[in-house]
Structure 1
Amino acid sequence: MNARGALGKYGEELAARRLTEAGMTVLERNWRSGRTGEIDIVAREGDTLVVCEVKTRRERSFQHPMAALTPVKAERLRGLAERWVQEHGGAPPGGVRIDLVGILVPRRGAPEVEHVRGAA
Structure 2
Amino acid sequence: MPLHRRPTGRRVRRRIPSDDLGRLQAGAPGPRLDARRLGELGELAARLWLHDQSWIILDANWRCRYGELDIVALTRHHSIVFVEVKTRRSTLQGSPQEAVHTSKQSNIRRTATLWLQRYGRRISHVGIRFDVITCVVHDGAVELQHIVEAF
Q: How many residues align?
A: 117
Check conservation: 1:102, 1:114, Cα contact below 8 A.
yes
When the two structures are superposed, what TM-score results if normalisation uses the length of structure 2? 0.72
Distance 2:39 2:88 in 1: 8
Deviations 1:62-92 (A, max 9, x none): 2311211111111111111111000014375
Q: For the pair shown, which has the larger CA radius of gyration, 1 or 2?
A: 2
Check conservation: 2:60, 2:69, Cα contact below 8 A.
yes
Q: Does 1:31 align with 2:62?
A: yes
Distance 1:77 1:53 in 2: 8
For structure 1, list consecutive stretches of 5 or more residues without a partner in the other structure.
Answer: none
Letter in 2 for 1:95: G
Flag the 1:89–1:111 CA change in 2: closer, same or farther, 3 A.
Answer: closer
For structure 2, list consecutive stretches of 5 or more residues without a partner in the other structure.
Answer: 1-32
Task: Kindly state the Cα deviation for residue 29 of structure 1 after the two structures are TM-superposed.
Answer: 0.7
Distance 2:114 2:60 in 1: 15
Letter in 2 for 1:49: I
**Root mean square deviation of aligned Cα:** 1.7
Q: Superposition pairs for residues 40-51 of structure 1, below 5 Å?
A: 40-45=70-75, 46-51=77-82
Q: Percent identity?
A: 35
Runs of 4+ aligned residues of structure 1 deviating over 3 Å after TM superposition are 89-93
Q: Does 1:97 align with 2:101?
A: no
Q: Does 1:68 align with 2:83?
A: no
The structure, 1 or 2, with the larger RCO (C-alpha pairs under 8 Å, 6+ apart) is 2
SS of structure 1 residue aligned to 2:54:
coil
Distance 2:62 2:105 in 1: 16
Q: 21, 45, 70: which one pairs with 2:52? A: 21
